[in-house]
Amino acid sequence: MADYQPADSGFALDRDCKTLSRHVLEQLHSFGPEAQDLSALMNRIALAGKLIARHLSRAGLMESALGFTGETNVQGEAVKKMDIYANDVFISVFKQSGLVCRLASEEMEKPYYIPENCPIGRYTLLYDPIDGSSNVDINLNVGSIFSIRRQQGDDLDHTGADLLQDGHQQLAAGYILYGPSTVLVYSIGRGVHAFVLDPSLGEFILATEDIRVPAHGPTYSVNEGNFWQWEDAIRDFTRYVHRHDGYSARYTGALVADFHRILTQGGVFLYPGTTKKPEGKLRLLYETAPLAFLIEQAGGRASTGHEDIMSVMPGEIHQRTPFIVGSTDDVALVESFIQDHSRRQSTLLST
């Protein structure tokens, strides 16, 4: 009897069946322990994403899902009920994983320990459970950002001092975008790949492999309401794009959504320092470093204006950093304004 040949739909079926965990194992060309760990970790992140997406999709129908808790977090920001729900989802999902001993997030002053996992849990999850929380109550895009690092040493005093390392220490990073569809984008240092949640299957299915960010794009994405709080260099950059054809402003108030546009279509996103917040608003370990990891894997750049985000050494877990991210040419253009101003200032000081 002849060998069975799949019908022409074989390719489409194969594509429809490429799940996240299988993709991770394929990326590593291995079924070894580390590959199995990373695959299991990504599976848990996917589960957290599915739980949060489900909660968000019904939030307007549920009592006590929307609005503020009345508390402020360690950053001094008003906490939303959705922030707490999503933070707890990650904790509960990773409690069951066995692999993660410690989680650090925007919503928790200190790392959260899962003692029962610590004898074997060699990984730390850093995350922003709901990024762009101001969009939650009005049914607009929000996201979750994550980064996975290997735990270095025992961290006996539970301060997470070993987390104060640059972005190159990340083993994996990514985000989940809760939009018209739920999209998970991840990298384990072998390109950047996007998966779409098929709600009927309850699975994230591969949608785009090896995303490459164009060297230049039309979008500039920045909160221009802060115009008079920026340094001159950033004001000059925005004047430049106003005066030149081919630029369009897009700003959703959710970093993940704005970043996703830039990653897929090119351009530049900026959250520079302001007079009130000289280091900007975004946090290094669970917002800007993971997205810097992704953009570099996609052929783009991420900078503070003076150095690559991936090289910044944090002084504390919740450290903020100015953020300029996107297409190589567009990031270089913003940096050129910043460096021109720095040169002029040092010339003025030396005369």
Interface ranges with Mg ion (CB under 5 A) = 128, 131
Question: Which residue lies nearer to Mg ion by CB, 184 or 338?
Answer: 184
Do the beta carbons of residue 258 and residue 131 sit within 8 Å? no
Question: Which residue lies nearer to ligand AHM by CB, 163 or 325?
Answer: 325
Nearest to 45 by CA among 139, 128, 164: 128
Question: Which residue lies nearer to ligand AHM by CB, 145 or 207?
Answer: 145
> Shortest approach of Mg ion to residue 122 CB, angstroms?
26
Give the pair of three-digit tokens for residue 341: 């101003």
Contacts of 29 (CB under 8 A, 6+ apart): none
> Shortest approach of ligand AHM to residue 225 CB, angstroms?
7
How many CB atoms neighbour CB 229 within 10 A?
A: 16
Three-class DSSP category at 200: coil
Question: Which residue lies nearer to ligand AHM by CB, 221 or 327?
Answer: 221
Question: Which residue lies nearer to ligand AHM by CB, 102 or 281?
Answer: 281
Question: Which residue lies nearer to ligand AHM by CB, 248 or 345?
Answer: 248
Q: Which residue is nearest to Mg ion (CB)?
A: 131
> Shortest approach of ligand AHM to residue 132 CB, angstroms?
4
> Shortest approach of Mg ion to residue 99 CB, angstroms?
24
Binding partner of residue 37 among Mg ion, ligand AHM, none, CB cut-off 5 to 8 Å per kind: none
Print burial letters for 246-260: b (CB count within 10 Å at least 16), e (below 16).
ebeebbbebbbbbbb
> Shortest approach of ligand AHM to residue 75 CB, angstroms?
7
Question: Which residue lies nearer to ligand AHM by CB, 144 or 151?
Answer: 144
Question: Which residue lies nearer to ligand AHM by CB, 90 or 114?
Answer: 90
> Shortest approach of ligand AHM to residue 133 CB, angstroms?
4
How many CB atoms neighbour CB 276 within 10 A?
A: 8
Contacts of 203 (CB under 8 A, 6+ apart): 19, 20, 197
Give the pair of three-digit tokens for residue 91: 């904790």
Three-class DSSP category at 79: strand
Please give the residue ranges that form the binding site for ligand AHM (CB under 6 A): 77, 106, 128, 131-133, 223, 253-255, 271, 281
Question: Which residue lies nearer to ligand AHM by CB, 193 or 281?
Answer: 281
Binding partner of residue 223 among Mg ion, ligand AHM, none, CB cut-off 5 to 8 Å per kind: ligand AHM
Binding partner of residue 133 among ligand AHM, Mg ion, none, CB cut-off 5 to 8 Å per kind: ligand AHM
Q: Which residue spans within the chain are E strands per DSSP?
A: 68-72, 78-80, 100-105, 112-113, 123-131, 142-150, 170-178, 182-187, 193-198, 203-208, 219-221, 248-249, 267-271, 301-303, 323-326
Give the pair of three-digit tokens for residue 23: 């993709």
Three-class DSSP category at 42: helix
Binding partner of residue 259 among ligand AHM, Mg ion, none, CB cut-off 5 to 8 Å per kind: none
Binding partner of residue 98 among Mg ion, ligand AHM, none, CB cut-off 5 to 8 Å per kind: none
> Shortest approach of Mg ion to residue 286 CB, angstroms?
8
Residues counted in the chain = 351
According to DSSP H, which parts of 64-182 are helical? Answer: 81-95
Query: How many CA atoms are closer than 13 Å to the CA of 94, on its beta-carbon side?
Result: 32
Do the beta carbons of residue 270 and residue 234 sit within 8 Å? yes
> Shortest approach of ligand AHM to residue 348 CB, angstroms?
31
Binding partner of residue 46 among ligand AHM, Mg ion, none, CB cut-off 5 to 8 Å per kind: none
> Shortest approach of Mg ion to residue 131 CB, angstroms?
4
Binding partner of residue 23 among Mg ion, ligand AHM, none, CB cut-off 5 to 8 Å per kind: none
Binding partner of residue 335 among Mg ion, ligand AHM, none, CB cut-off 5 to 8 Å per kind: none
Binding partner of residue 198 among Mg ion, ligand AHM, none, CB cut-off 5 to 8 Å per kind: none
